[in-house]
Amino acid sequence: MSSNDILQQGADLLMLGMGSVFVFLSVLVVATTAMSWFINRWLPEVEAEPVARKPAPSTEINSKTLSIIKQAIAQHRVAKGRASAE
């Protein structure tokens, strides 16, 4: 293969590559916009979506734990406040 050939191949790759990337992502812009329009027009989620996502267990624990901590701390402070006030 001559040196020119590889330059040519590089240029071809640039054209084909950027062309494909732009065409594909442009098509995706159109398809996504159409999909969003269609769903929001014809298939809106009326209320609390029935397919409600079960939170990942750890998160669940964390949030529960956190709320408990907050409460516990609050009560602790109250208790301490009361104790020191007495």
Q: List interacting residues with a second copy (CB under 8 A).
A: 57-58, 61-62, 64-65, 68-69, 71-72, 75-76, 78-79
List, as one string, the DSSP characters of the chain.
Answer: --HHHHHHHHHHHHHHHHHHHHHHHHHHHHHHHHHHHHHHHHS---SS-TTPPPPPHHHHHHHHHHHHHHHHHHHHHHHHHHHHH-
CB of 86 vs a second copy, minimal distance in Å? 13
| Binding piece for other proteins, criterion CB under 8 A, among 23-31, 69-77, 78-86 | 23-31
Interface contacts to other proteins, rule CB under 8 A = 3-4, 6-7, 9-14, 16-18, 20-29, 31-33, 35-36, 39-40, 43-45, 49, 51-54, 56-57
